[in-house]
Structure formats: structure tokens, C-alpha cells
């Protein structure tokens, strides 16, 4: 047993160590023990979550392909004013480095990057490099321009100059329907090429609509589960959790079958008379077409996301004591007034948490809109998939992911500042 003594006015342990030092050592050991317990989980989060996000953020702004393949050309272009075609020194460096890149098999990376801004420029770069193998003497400017007139256009060299910067805003600007002009200023894309802002608005709109639908459907169910006897509520909770027993793909495929023309939903609408009413009102002609529509997308996503909104609401409702409502009624409040002013404010933390969770998860939906939605229902996740797998444009895919991440962080910041649990007051 360790005993303490007092010497020189300082409490000391049996070994003479000051008691404060002993306490700090004990606390340090407890901290190290706690850190050792959470270290595996921490490492898993860093490896599987944080590192991919950092790589994504880097790819959205970092693009060294042109700089690595054409280092001298891009360096010389930094001194170019952009008004006329560059001089002989730039063309000489360009011809030499184009030949070297062709031999090193890195020319495709240069052509792909330049092709993002000027279509067909990838083929121009490849053909020019092949033809330059037969050119061995100056003047290089005349020789390169003679191979293809595209090199006699200052706009082409402006693109090479911008693409030659290792840190580039090109990908982020492109997913915001913006671009850099030849003079370096930021301008809007032509009207026929603006798509991503519309897709972002569509993604936010669908996610918000799904969140509202799950809230309208989930709040009364949560209230019922919280007020029913525990045995009955437990049985009903099984039906709430039942969708988790099947995969997302299976549930979405089931909705595709239900909503197809001539399917169960169409037959139900015809049998119930809803189709006839809509035809009489002029809102629809013939039988309804539910599949490949915005309605199908929202319906399927609402079905999938409903438990994610319901469960946080239910968990908070279970903590609300029924004595609050009885007290309000005893003071003369009507049931509706007591519910609105006493019960609902106490459930807002669960509502905010469930809605935030559903909204954030809905932002990244890909499979459901692709299977049950129409061409105008593709969300940002679908364009990320296209950028990676079809176009091979990892920079644009990372920029789209950066936009989604930024939207998520902004939503969480707003939630934490305005509707965070620490901001709520009971009663």
C-alpha cells in the first residue's frame, strides 16, 4: 500500500516523488491506455476515409501532366503576353519536348488534358508529334505551323499555358460552369455547355424533397412507436427495420418492376379511378407512365431513406416524458396546442439529426436515379461515375466530389450553429 507524507510543505508519495507528479503520471498512463484502445479505429478511419478525401482534394487542383511532359515550353510561355503566336524559342522547345514525350509514351496525357478545353486537340498533338519525327532542322515555328494550322492560333497556346500550371482551377471552374478566358479572367461557359450548376441544383432539390417526404411520413410513425406499449412498438419496429435486410440494389430493382408500364402501380391507379380523374382534368393523357420519371426517383429514395429519418426522431421521442403533455393539458391547453408548443420543440434535435442524415445520404445517390429515374434525373454521383469510368477525367470527378463535400460541410455547419442539440431547450 502506498502512503503519502509531507516534507518541506509538499505532499510526497512513499518513494519521495511529489504527489502532483504521481497524479500526472497516472493520468498520462490513462490517456495512453485510452489512445491504445481507439488507435485501431482511428487508423481505419484515416486509411479508409481521410486519405481518400485528401487525394480527392489534391486531384481537384493538382495536375502536373503537361508540366512534366513540356517543362521548358510551359516555362517559356509564362513570359508570353498572349497577344500573338509565341516566338521561335517556344516552338523549338515545344517540338523537342513533343518528340521526347512521344518516345516516353506520355504524349497521351498531354493530349487528353488539352482536349478538355479544345476538342480534337488530342489528335492534333498526336499527329503533330508523329510528323515532327521527320523534321530535324529550324525554323521550328514555320515547321510546326506548317504541320497544322491550329498551332498558329494564340488561343491554343493560351490553353497550353494554363494547362502547364501544376496547381490549376480548371476542374473546379468547369464543374461550376465557369472557365478562364485567354486573359486569365473568369467567365461563364456558353449557354449550350452549362450543365453542372443545373445538376447541382437538381441534386439539392431531389435530396430536399426526399428529406421532406421522409419527415412527413416518419414523424407520425415515430410518435406512434414512442407512445405505444413496448411490446407492440417492438413488433412494429421490426417492419421499420425490415428494408435493411435487403440490399439497396434489390429494393431499387423491385421499384422498377412495380412502376413499369402495365405494372402493379399502373393497374392500381386504373382500378382506383385515379387515372380517369387525371384524364378528365387534362393533367394526363392515357395511362400513367411512372417508371423513368422524377416521381419514381423520389418515391424509391423516400422508401430507402425513411428509416434513417425515423430512427433518430424515435430515439428522441422516447426520452420525452408524457408528464409534459399532461401538465400542459391540466393548465388549459388544447391537445393540439400542447403538442405543438410542448412536445414538438423537444423532438427537434431528433428531427434535425434525421433530416440532416437523410439529406446528406441523398446527395450521393447513384444507383436509384440511374435505374428508376429518367435522363433528367441524374444526380452528381452519376456524373462522377461517368467522369471516372467513361471519360477517365479524374480531375473533374474529384472537383465534383469536392463540391459535394463542401455542400455537406456547409449543411453540417448550419445545423451545428442553428439546430444543434446544444442549442435546444426543453419545455
- The reported pLDDT for the residue numbered 118 is 86
More confident residue, 308 or 20: 308
Judged by DSSP in three states, 409 sits in helix
313 contacts 348 by C-beta, under 8 angstroms: no
Task: Give pLDDT tens digits for 224-267.
Answer: 998 888 888 888 888 888 888 888 888 888 888 888 887 777 77
- pTM tops 0.85, yes or no: no
Q: HEC states along 179-209?
A: EECCCCCEEECCHHHCCHHHHHHHHHHHHHH
- Residue 131 CA to residue 164 CA, distance in Å, equals 23
339 contacts 322 by C-beta, under 8 angstroms: no
418 contacts 338 by C-beta, under 8 angstroms: no
Task: Give pLDDT tens digits for 324-365.
Answer: 888 888 888 888 888 888 888 888 888 988 998 999 899 988
Give 241: exposed, middle or buried? Use CB within 10 Å, 0-12, 13-18, 19+: exposed
How far out from the chain centre does Cα 136 lie? 50
Judged by DSSP in three states, 167 sits in strand
Say yes or no to pLDDT of 220 above 90: yes
- Residue 87 CA to residue 408 CA, distance in Å, equals 48
Task: Give pLDDT tens digits for 79-137.
Answer: 888 888 998 999 999 999 998 998 888 888 899 999 988 888 889 999 998 988 888 77
- Residue 288 CA to residue 260 CA, distance in Å, equals 10
Q: What is the DSSP letter of 417?
A: H
More confident residue, 1 or 293: 293
- The reported pLDDT for the residue numbered 1 is 44
Q: What is the DSSP letter of 62?
A: B
Left, alpha or beta for 12 (phi > 0: left; psi -120 to 50: alpha)? beta
Model confidence at 206, in pLDDT bands (50, 70, 90)?
A: very high
Q: What is the DSSP letter of 390?
A: I
Share of the chain above pLDDT 90, in %: 19
Give, in order, the Cα–Cα distances in Å from 328 to each of 232, 323, 365, 427: 27, 9, 43, 10
- Mean predicted lDDT score pLDDT of the chain: 84
Angle formed by the axes of helices 196-227 and 230-241, nearest 10°: 160
- Residue 224 CA to residue 233 CA, distance in Å, equals 8
- The reported pLDDT for the residue numbered 22 is 73
| HSE-up of residue 15 (Cα within 13 Å, Cβ side) | 4
Amino acid at each position: 500500500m502506498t502512503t503519502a507524507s509531507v516534507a518541506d510543505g509538499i505532499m510526497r508519495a512513499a518513494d519521495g516523488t511529489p504527489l502532483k507528479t504521481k497524479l500526472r503520471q497516472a493520468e498520462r498512463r490513462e490517456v495512453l491506455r485510452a489512445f491504445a484502445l481507439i488507435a485501431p479505429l482511428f487508423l481505419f478511419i484515416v486509411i479508409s476515409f481521410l486519405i481518400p478525401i485528401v487525394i480527392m482534394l489534391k486531384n481537384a487542383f493538382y495536375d502536373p501532366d503537361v508540366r512534366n511532359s513540356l517543362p521548358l515550353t510551359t516555362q517559356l510561355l509564362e513570359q508570353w503576353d498572349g497577344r500573338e503566336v509565341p516566338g521561335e524559342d517556344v516552338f523549338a522547345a515545344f517540338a523537342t519536348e513533343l518528340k521526347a514525350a512521344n518516345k516516353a509514351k506520355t504524349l497521351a496525357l498531354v493530349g487528353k488534358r488539352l482536349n478538355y478545353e479544345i476538342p480534337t486537340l488530342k489528335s492534333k498533338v498526336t499527329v503533330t508529334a508523329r510528323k515532327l519525327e521527320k523534321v530535324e532542322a529550324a525554323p521550328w515555328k514555320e515547321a510546326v505551323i506548317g504541320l497544322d494550322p491550329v498551332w498558329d492560333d494564340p488561343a491554343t497556346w493560351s490553353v497550353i499555358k494554363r494547362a502547364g500550371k501544376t496547381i490549376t482551377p480548371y476542374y473546379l471552374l468547369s464543374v461550376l460552369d465557369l472557365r478562364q478566358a485567354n486573359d486569365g479572367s473568369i467567365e461563364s461557359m456558353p449557354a449550350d455547355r452549362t450543365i453542372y450548376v443545373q445538376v447541382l441544383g437538381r441534386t439539392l432539390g431531389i435530396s430536399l424533397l426526399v428529406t421532406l417526404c421522409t419527415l412527413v411520413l416518419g414523424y407520425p410513425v415515430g410518435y406512434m412507436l414512442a407512445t405505444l406499449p413496448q411490446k407492440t412498438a417492438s413488433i412494429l419496429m421490426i417492419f421499420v427495420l425490415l428494408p435493411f435486410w435487403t440490399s439497396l440494389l434489390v429494393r431499387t430493382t423491385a421499384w422498377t418492376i412495380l412502376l413499369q408500364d402495365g405494372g402493379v402501380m399502373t393497374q392500381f391507379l386504373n382500378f382506383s379511378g385515379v387515372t380517369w380523374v387525371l384524364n378528365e382534368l387534362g393533367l394526363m393523357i392515357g395511362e400513367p407512365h411512372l417508371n423513368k420519371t422524377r416521381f419514381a426517383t423520389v418515391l424509391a429514395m423516400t422508401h430507402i431513406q425513411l428509416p434513417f429519418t425515423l430512427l433518430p426522431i424515435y430515439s428522441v421521442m422516447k426520452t420525452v416524458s408524457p408528464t409534459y403533455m399532461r401538465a400542459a393539458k391540466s393548465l388549459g391547453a388544447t391537445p393540439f396546442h400542447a403538442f405543438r408548443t410542448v412536445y414538438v420543440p423537444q423532438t427537434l434535435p431528433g428531427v434535425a439529426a434525421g433530416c440532416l442524415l437523410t439529406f446528406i445520404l441523398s446527395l450521393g445517390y447513384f444507383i436509384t436515379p440511374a435505374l428508376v429515374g429518367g435522363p433528367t434525373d441524374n444526380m452528381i454521383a452519376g456524373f462522377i461515375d461517368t467522369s471516372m469510368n467513361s471519360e477517365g477525367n479524374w480531375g473533374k470527378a474529384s472537383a465534383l466530389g469536392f463540391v459535394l463535400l463542401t455542400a455537406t460541410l456547409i449543411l453540417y455547419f448550419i445545423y451545428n450553429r442553428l439546430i444543434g442539440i446544444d442549442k435546444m431547450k426543453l419545455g
